[in-house]
Structure 1
Amino acid sequence: MDQSITLVGYGEAGRTFARAAGWQSRAHVFDMQNLDDAFAEDRVCGCSTLAEALLGSNYAISVVTADQALVVAQDVATTIASGTLFFDMNSVAPDTKRAAADAIEAAGGHYIDAAIMSPVDPAGIAVPLLISGPHCEDGMEALSALGFTNVRIVGENVGRASTIKMLRSVMYKGVEALTAECLIACEKAGVIDEVLGSFNNDWSAQADYRLDRMLVHGTRRSAEMAEAVKTLEMLGVEPDLTRATVARQAALGELGLNPPPDGLNAKLKALAQ
């Protein structure tokens, strides 16, 4: 596969994919931040404009923050070539995906709703992907050609893949938020060993990892959970707990503990101050 690939966004997901797949100069990357050092290190083609990144590309992958996903799709639609496959891998509500699809399809592009179902590091291009939409058969073939090895079609309607992702996040990221709330209080009360000891070993072992994810990615995850709120509201479910998850994820992300202190006890001492 020697066609160029457009990557919109070069954060954790975009950079992990480019490096794991060995795309190098075939990846034409646009990011709002100055990432020239990262581009040079990974030997990808950094582009100064979105139009430049899309020029001559058959495939475009959008991996940006949730609050920018629709804006990016609308911007891509102004220059996308007819027939280009646009993979929207952002963690947003199904209605947001459908609005993005309308913009891409009206411009002649082919939109695929894609959901990344686990952290991309260390999975890389073996990360589980769900895709849906009328072009998902072509999307499956293209993703395979790009090197992705764990892709599953979940339906012909845009929004189905993202619905699965959003509702899964209600649980997963909600548990993260509850973990932080519980353990910070335990640290302040001096009962952390007793409470952790009352849980099973699997839960306790995951606590350090959950705090890590929020401290490093809490701001981005908060934006994603705001989209989960929209998903629940669309389904007629009052998102009381998920709204609180939005706030807790944002609060931990704003602390600036990146990289986080090493070890659960060190993290909790820093958070309990």
Structure 2
Amino acid sequence: MQQALALIGFGEAGSTFAGAAGWQATAAAWDLRADRRGAAAGQGLRGSHSVAEALAGAPLVLSLVTADQALAAARDYAPLLAPGALWCDMNSVAPGTKRAAAEAVRAAGARYVDVAVLAPVHPARLAVPLLLSGEAADAAAEALSATGFTHVRTVGAEVGRASAIKMIRSVMVKGLEALTAEMMLAAEAAGVTDEVLASLDASEKAQPWAARAAYNIERMVTHGLRRAAEMEESARTLAELGVEPVMTSGTVRRQRELAGRRDLLTASKGEAA
């Protein structure tokens, strides 16, 4: 029998994991948004009436909220956790943010685990790579594997180590998206898009740049606000390391300003075709 667990946050990640694992008999979920609580109930999960109901007695909790709510969720819900419960913070936030969240969870008598999700949950689902750190990382790795996750690895006993890997990696991943968008906006404004893309194709053949540009811009249009929040945490990570986040701060701005720009999708798809 799968281990009982609770999901805090039922957005893309929470609903994807729950749907892939078939946790209906053993899982509960809570989200601040009523429509998402309804979606969780529609998938057969319990806990839609209150966060206390969702967390009651759960030995394993997955925190899957937005980056700007990760610390608040840990502080607000820690007193509701069962003694010794594992709070797996799977949110994309800076190591310092996770250490602050860990203090709240530990003070409540539960165990905190820093979890870094290293790929989009689609299409990987439960095969998405997870890095875990913290004193309870080994216990959490066993619990997560028992619930169906198949790509789990511990990277140390220090809270913040897993998130440092994720945040520093994000400097490149999200930064490339932002640079791509900036290049495409300029190329289209100058009327030289085809020539620019062709020149890039000539120097790198791994993937046509028209397809890569379309993909990167679609990611920003669809998830720009969430990614901007994550990149703010990446900037904070660099600052904590004594590195001025010049390009990373620019990525935050570009991700945020392109969020929801559906008009850019038509242009980028047209070029990709």
Q: Distance in 2 between matches of 1:222 and 1:41?
A: 30
In structure 1, give the amino acid aligned to 2:268. Answer: L
Contact 2:2 2:146 in 1 (8 A): no
Per-residue CA shift, 1:99-150, capped at 9, x if unaligned? 0001001111111100000101000000000000011110111011010000
In the TM superposition, 1:167-246 aligns within 5 A as: 167-199=168-200, 200-201=204-205, 202=207, 204=209, 205-246=211-252
Equivalence for 1:252: 258
Match of 2:33? 33
After superposition, the C-alpha distances for 1:21-68 in whole angstroms (9 at most, x for unaligned) are 111242211111122542244222242321111012111000111000
- One-letter code of the match for 1:4? A
Distance in 2 (CA, whole Å) between partners of 1:11 and 1:267 is 31
Q: Distance in 1 between matches of 2:14 and 2:244?
A: 33
Q: Using the alignment, how far apart are the partners of 1:116 and 1:143 within structure 2?
A: 13
**Percentage of pairs with the same residue:** 52
Q: How many residues align?
A: 266
- Mark the CA change 1:111 to 1:203 in structure 2 (over 3 Å): closer, same or farther: farther
Q: Distance in 1 between matches of 2:3 and 2:266?
A: 42
Report the Cα distance in structure 1 between the residues aligned to 2:3 and 2:144, rounded to whole angstroms: 13
Matches for 1:78-227 after TM superposition, within 5 Å: 78-199=79-200, 200-201=204-205, 202=207, 204=209, 205-227=211-233
Q: What is the TM-score normalised by the length of structure 1?
A: 0.92
Taking the aligned partners of 1:118 and 1:135, their CA distance within structure 2 comes to 23
Matched residue of 1:64: which SS? coil
Asked whether the equivalents of residues 3 and 57 of structure 1 are also in contact (C-alpha less than 8 Å), the reply is: no
Q: Is the 8 A contact 1:154 1:160 kept in 2?
A: yes
Q: Which amino acid aligns with 2:81?
A: I
TM-score normalized with structure 2 length: 0.92
Is 1:264 matched with 2:265?
A: no
Contact 2:221 2:258 in 1 (8 A): yes
1:29 and 1:53 in contact (8 A); partners too? yes
The amino acid across from 1:208 in the alignment is: A
* Matching residue's letter, 1:233: A
1:198-235 Cα offsets, whole Å, 9 max, x none, are 11342613221111111111001100100011100000
Do 2:178 and 2:255's aligned partners in 1 also have CA atoms closer than 8 Å? yes
Aligned to 1:14: 14
> Deviations 1:157-178 (Å, cap 9, x if unpaired)?
0000000000000111011001
